[in-house]
Amino acid sequence: MVNDKPWYLKDSKIAEAFDNFRSVSNGKSALDEKTKELINFAVASVFRCPHCTNGHLKKALAVGATKEEITEALLLSSLQAGMTQLNWNKESFEKYLG
């Protein structure tokens, strides 16, 4: 029998709990499937994971996301990432540069 679990679920005491959390989060909840995939796509793009970004982009399209929705998710995530970066450096900037 082939072990088809992802590498990160092997040899860990918390793997079963993590896998359960992942499974539950993919099930029915307050967010519909398209919204979840748009969020997953946006987060994956901010974290610069090509494998994850492509996978969630394909899933978003499969559950009915439009090009416009995907583009807006990407633009919003880019804006938030940029603003986070600016605010993260605010104290150092003010401390050393006035």
* Distance separating alpha carbons of residues 60 and 72, to the nearest angstrom: 13
Inter-CA distances, 44 with 16, 24, 86, Å: 23, 19, 20
pTM for the model stands at: 0.80
pLDDT band at 7 (very low <50, low <70, confident <90, very high): confident
pLDDT band at 98 (very low <50, low <70, confident <90, very high): confident
State the CATH class of domain 32-97: mainly alpha
* Distance separating alpha carbons of residues 4 and 14, to the nearest angstrom: 17
Q: What are phi and psi of 32, to 5 degrees?
A: -75, 165
**57-87 pLDDT, tens per residue?**
999 999 999 999 999 999 999 999 999 988 9
